[in-house]
Structure 1
Amino acid sequence: MQITDAEILVVDDTPANLKVVTETLASAGYRVAIATSGERALKQLQNRVPALILLDIQMPGINGFETCKKIKENPELYRIPIIFLTARSDTDSTLKGFELGAVDYISKPFKEPELLARVKIHLQLQQMTQTLEQQVSERTQALSSALTELQRYQLQLIQHEKMSALGNLVAGIGHEINNPLGFVDGNILVLKEYFDDFLTYLRLYEQTYPPSNEVLSSKRRELDIDYLLTDIDTIFESMTKGCDLIRDVSKSIRIFSRTDTAAKLTSNLHEGLDSTLHILKYRLKAKDSRPAIQVIRDYSELPDIKCFPGQLNQAFMNILANAIDMFEEVAENTDYATLETNPQSIIVRTRLVQHQETESVEITITDNGKGISEDVCSQIFERNFTTKSVGKGTGLGLAIAHQVIVEKHGGSLNVQSELDQGTTFQIYLPTMD
């Protein structure tokens, strides 16, 4: 807007003054509106907002001071610059006007050049102020966007570093486990073959030369050789199963911490969930303070989807670990018998659904814990927000889970909870990349 296009409201109860001021402003190109009282001025301001107000002080009804006060109390009008037109030149009146928010005084009778100069300078100041406020607002918005982007990048960096470090750790652990495991597992098979050969020979020997010596017979009974020969098979079977369990743990760790590539990989979500639960198995076991936390899997048939499996597994881990942390906190304030009667449980359910008109996998993780308040639910995915005590939470776990699911996979993550009614995290992942 050009300064000379501005509309100026002149408020004066004297027609002669209105005429002179109006003609002076109009000759300079300003648009002029008039009001003959404070009441009329306030009514006009409800429908149109001028760029500047010239306000007489001495008027019947609401005088200029009272009119100025009411204008400045209105949040939609308080920015309008007000110049008082007055024949009063005492210091008290001047100070009162400035205290009420006026920007200037013009004494009557005024000189046209002075009036136009003061009007122009205050319109320029008003325009500069508005321009500056807009620039500040734009700069603030830009800084806010930059901060948000920086925080998002920090989360990505933290997630990447965690997964990279975990991948390196797991690779080393896997190497250290698999080498001796292969040695032990392979030797169990060889030892079993050797033992079977030895057992065949022993039985043939006893058939050919039945033990007649009482010392040998007594020792055979004492050692219960028949039981040992039978039980050794069970021992070999247990050792083989133990190796299989170690191999399963190693596989679960490897699946969980799978290093993601630049492109998405086709992955089985149930494998990821199972590997995550396997990793957390030690935290689910019974403790002195509580019985074991029950885990119920309710899986439906799902298609493999393209995703970053390592990152998704980390998101599952953060949500499940939060539930376990909550159960630990509850157990500290609940007696063991109560928890035995009402077992703590987590239900992991998967379904194929239509979500926002897109075929999606729905994964819900539900606990029967103490629930979350509405206020906490509204902040739960924010970075650095945590309800845990100092040293027990970083406020990054659920923020990372939200970023991984929403930003990295185009899905959604929601939470539904009521106090004392448990909590459900809903994850939706589109099946099509």
Structure 2
Amino acid sequence: MNYHLIDSYNLYLVTISVVIAILASYTVLKLAGRIAVAKGWLRRCWLVGGAVGMGSGIWSMHFIGMLAFKAPVPIDYDFVLVLISTLPAIFASGLVLFIVSNPTIGSLELIGGSLCMGGGITTTHYLGMAAMQTPAIMHYDLTLVLISVFIAFLVSSIALFLTFQLRSESIPKRRLKQVFAAIIMGFAIASMHYTGMLALSFQASSDVALSTFLLTTKDANLLATGVTIGTLIILGLALLTTLFDRQLSAKEESHQQLKTILEGIKVGVLVVGSDSKIYMSNQAVCDLLGKTEIELRNLWETFCQNYHIQELETFNLSKIQTLSKYDWALHEVFCAIVSSQTVDNAVMSLTRTELEKQNWLLVNIVPQLNSDSKIEKVVCTFSDITNLKHKEEALRASEAKNRVLAEVATAQAQELENTLNKLKLTQTQLIQQEKMSSLGQMVAGIAHEVNNPISVIYGNLTHAKKYTKDLVELLHIYQNEYPQGSPKIQAKLEEVEFDYIIEDLNKLFTSMKFGSDRMRKIVLSLRNFSRLDEATMKKVDIHEGLDNTLLLLAHRLKPEYNLPQIIIYKHYGELPRINCYAGQLNQVFKNILDNAIDALRDSFEFYDWTIAEKKYFAPDKNNFLNGYTEQLFNLPSIYIYTKLIDKSRIIIDIANNGPSIPESIRLRIFDPFFTTKPVGRGTGLGLSISYQIIHKHSGILECISQPGWGTKFRIELPII
């Protein structure tokens, strides 16, 4: 009686078979890249080795997968047939590697290679199955067999495509993609195998021993372990070989690329290894040194055989800078290379006898260190700077000539600039003086015209007052003589309020006299201030000029919206009359006072006077405003102080308790056109012209300012 046997799998061996399939796939992907770049006999060696490695991996996966199969009957293997089953896998692997190593792969190659590889995998699998020997009867499910064949073809197509696509080393993240591709290919190969195993079933008669499978399973594990170790050794050697070959190829390729690059440049390059052998040199170094490559190598070897350690110890790097003897200069360079000294831009002079001319080379020597900070090689470069040297000499001569011309041009330019500045300043001063002269003439004319009617009014006020007094006395006499006048006269007296008129008449004449006096003083001040066109110096009263200027600026001292009145403190000393240009001095006073008023208005704008506690300055005998007796507190104030010194000089101080002037501004405050005021509020000429006027009077004008103490302008004039 025959009955169907139930089989199972050793999961440990199944896992090993899948891992081997993945490793075999990864090895194929690595080998494909090496075969694609190899040439000649090396390419054939890679093909044979790759075919053996890949075929062995495929066969090992299938064989271990069969060993993982556990049946309730003893199983033995025909090892001759097992070994024969490796040949289809090796042959198919070699053909596939040959196809994917071509520059391009078409549809026909892809289909043909897939059929070949799929057939090889299928043949290996079913030959291995045929090698199984058991007392039970083996049956195959044809449908599952066909499915396994299709899977083999599909697996082969995927493997061919992925292997061809990932063989180039320039693909981004190539290694990671190869790992994923190997996993996909490994599981695909395993799926074909276990689908084929699923197609197998066993039937056994009742007399077949069912307990002996335990022994066969133990033997299968030992056999699988041996096959796994052997396969891993083969695949590991293949991967190590690809790794070493890739590194050697990359190093050789890099060396060749560097050689090609060096041959194309005009800089001479000499590379010496740590073993004192020339590692690399280009044609440029031979041309620059006047040697062939063989002569250069012979010269280097001769030097290395004859140099002395003591000579290197006493080697002076500065000798390279000024040598003219050719061989001796090269000898010094060789000493620097052997002693691994760094040379930066050393200029070496060479006399080439065959060319009958002197050349200059720029020498640089750089020792290259490895990862252990030990010298691996020394790179020496030679650059021809002969043309640059000639140009440098010509440039040096030209620079010397240009330097002389530049000095002359600079001196002329400076002189011209000074002249232009003087002309500009003179022109500006002339224009300003012309304006002031015209203004003075106009003011003088207006003052004269206004003074005439004012004089008439002022002169007739006395007579008018006397005449009015006589009329009033006459009216009083009339009232006394005729107390009872006519009703018409009485009515008129009551209508005009005669008693009030008599009482207010004296007040009216007093007010008119005060107003006319005030107008006469203003006209006199205008006439005195407008003496700008006087061509000769006259003795004048300085205090009168200051008072006249203050009178003209009185409207600017009055309180304005949110701004208090500016207080004027005067401390006049006993001064003699000074011989000067009165109109010009009045202009100086006006410029300084105008600036002081502007500073106070700007400083005190939006200031809360109800809580004002800040003391701007409180002058005493110890501070820089020496001589002040008044104390100025939190109100905007201007202090004018005059004094006679040594009976030969006078000083005029005009100080304000506004903000101080920084030193950077004080140094330029008398420069023409320099101003810190907004556009439209100043020309920058007031203090400059004032400085020139005081200088014209042989005097001194200076600005004194300290933080928290306000600003003072001091005028010092000689008594002439």
Residue 584 of structure 2: aligned partner: 311
Partner of 2:700: 412
Q: How far 1:67 moved relative to its partner?
A: 8.8
Structure 2 vs 1, CA of residues 338 and 267 (structure 1 numbering), >3 Å: closer, same or farther?
farther
CA distance in 1, matches of 2:612, 2:453: 41
Equivalent positions of 1:376-395 (< 5 A) are: 376-395=665-684
Contact 2:534 2:583 in 1 (8 A): no
Paired residue secondary structure (1:88): strand
> Which shifted more, 215-224 or 170-179?
215-224
Partner of 2:383: 93
- Aligned position for 2:574: 301
Secondary structure of the 1:291 match is: coil
Change (3 A) 1:94 1:372: farther
Q: Is the 8 A contact 2:644 2:651 kept in 1?
A: yes
Residue aligned with 1:288, SS:
coil
Q: In 2, distance between residues paired with 1:128 and 1:173?
A: 66
Contact 1:260–1:308, Cα closer than 8 Å, also in 2: no
RMSD: 3.6
Equivalence for 2:105: none
Question: Residues 119-138 of structure 1 correspond to what in structure 2 (within 5 A)?
Answer: 125-138=398-411
If asked which structure has higher relative contact order (CA below 8 Å, sep 6+), I would say 1
1:167 and 1:257 in contact (8 A); partners too: yes
Which residue number in structure 2 is paired with residue 27 of structure 1?
Answer: none
Q: 1:66 to 1:149 in 2, by over 3 A?
A: farther
Closer, same or farther: CA 158–287 of 1 in aligned 2, 3 Å: same
Paired with 2:537 and 2:448, the residues of 1 have a C-alpha distance of 26
TM-score (normalizing by structure 2)? 0.44
Match of 1:326 in 2: 599
1:240 aligned onto 2:528: no
Deviations 1:128-181 (A, max 9, x none): 223212211221221132023113312321331122121122123113312321
Q: Any unmatched runs of 5+ in structure 1? A: 1-36, 41-53, 69-84, 106-117
Residue 167 of structure 1 is matched in structure 2 by 440
Q: Please say if residues 289 and 331 of structure 1, whose CA atoms lie closer than 8 Å, have aligned partners that are also in contact.
A: no
CA distance in 2, matches of 1:67, 1:430: 70
Residues 1:273 and 2:546 are matched in the alignment: yes
Paired residue secondary structure (1:295): strand
Offset of residue 332 of structure 1: 2.6
CA distance in 1, matches of 2:672, 2:430: 14
Per-residue CA distance 1:199-239 (angstroms, 9 max, x = gap): 12111112212247788668756755344323211211210
Alpha-carbon shift at residue 289 of structure 1 (Å): 2.5
Q: Does 2:634 align with 1:364?
A: no
- By how many angstroms is 1:261 displaced? 3.1
Q: Kindly tell me: are residues 125 and 292 of structure 1, through their superposed partners in 2, closer, same or farther at Cα, counting changes over 3 Å? A: same
CA distance in 2, matches of 1:405, 1:286: 32
Contact 1:416 1:425 in 2 (8 A): yes
The one of 496, 506, 530 aligned to 1:257 = 530
The Cα shift of 1:375 comes to 1.4
Q: SS at the partner of 1:286?
A: coil
Amino acid at match of 1:409: H
What is the Cα deviation at residue 414 of structure 1? 0.9
Query: How far apart in 2 are the matches of 1:344 and 1:274?
Result: 19
Partner of 1:352: 644
TM-score, scaled relative to structure 1: 0.70
Give me the whole-angstrom Cα distance separating, in 1, the residues matched to 2:342 and 2:508: 104
Secondary structure at the residue paired with 1:282? helix
* Alpha-carbon distance change, 94 to 298 in structure 1, aligned in 2, over 3 angstroms: farther
CA distance in 2, matches of 1:56, 1:176: 97
In the superposition, relative to structure 1, how do residues 142 and 229 fare at CA in structure 2: closer, same or farther (>3 Å)? same
Q: 1:55 to 1:39 in 2, by over 3 A?
A: closer
CA contact (8 A) 1:56 1:64 kept: no
Match of 1:424 among 682, 701, 712: 712
Distance 1:87 1:165, change over 3 A: closer
- CA distance in structure 1 between the aligned counterparts of 2:347 and 2:593, rounded to whole angstroms: 63
1:363/1:427 contact within 8 Å kept: yes
Aligned to 1:183: 456
Deviations 1:57-84 (A, max 9, x none): 968899794699xxxxxxxxxxxxxxxx
**1:128–1:196 Cα change, 3 Å:** same
Which consecutive residues of structure 2, in runs of 5 or more, have no partner in the other structure? Answer: 1-315, 349-357, 364-380, 614-632
Classify 1:122/1:282 alpha carbon distance in 2 versus 1 (closer, same or farther; 3 Å): closer
Task: Give the equivalent residue in structure 2 for 1:290.
Answer: 563
CA 1:122/1:311 → structure 2, altered by over 3 Å: closer, same or farther? same
- 1:382 is displaced (CA, Å) by 1.1
CA contact (8 A) 2:444 2:526 kept: no
Q: Which residue does the alignment assign to 1:76?
A: none
Contact preservation (8 Å) 2:699, 2:715? yes
Q: Cα 1:375–1:201, aligned 2, differ >3 Å: closer, same or farther?
A: same
Aligned pair partner of 1:373 in 662, 666, 670: 662
- 1:290 and 1:339 in contact (8 A); partners too: no
Distance, in Å, in 2 between the alignment partners of 1:38 and 1:243 is 101
Q: 1:138 to 1:289 in 2, by over 3 A?
A: same
Count of matched residue pairs: 348
Measured in 1, the distance between the counterparts of 2:583 and 2:699 equals 16
Read off the aligned partner of 1:348 and give its amino acid letter: I
Q: Is the 8 A contact 1:55 1:64 kept in 2?
A: no
Q: Secondary structure at the match of 1:259?
A: helix
SS at match of 1:93: strand
The structure-2 alpha-carbon separation of the partners of 1:103 and 1:139, relative to structure 1 and needing over 3 Å to count, comes to farther
Q: Structure 2: how far apart are the matches of 1:376 and 1:250?
A: 38
CA separation of 1:97 and 1:316: change in aligned 2, threshold 3 A: farther
CA distance in 1, matches of 2:318, 2:546: 71
Per-residue deviation, 1:392: 1.3
| Corresponding position: 1:343 with 2:635 | yes
Note if contact 2:526-2:548 (Cα within 8 Å) is conserved in structure 1: yes
**Contact preservation (8 Å) 2:361, 2:386:** no
Give the match's secondary structure for 2:654: strand
Q: Partner amino acid for 1:412?
A: I
- Deviation, structure 1 residue 403: 1.3
The answer to whether the 8 Å contact 2:425/2:672 transfers is no
Q: Distance in 1 between matches of 2:387 and 2:343?
A: 12
* Residue pairs, 1:30-69, within 5 angstroms: 65=345
Alignment CA distance shift 1:205-1:67 (3 Å): farther
Q: 1:143 and 2:433 equivalent?
A: no
Q: Distance in 1 between matches of 2:716 and 2:317?
A: 61
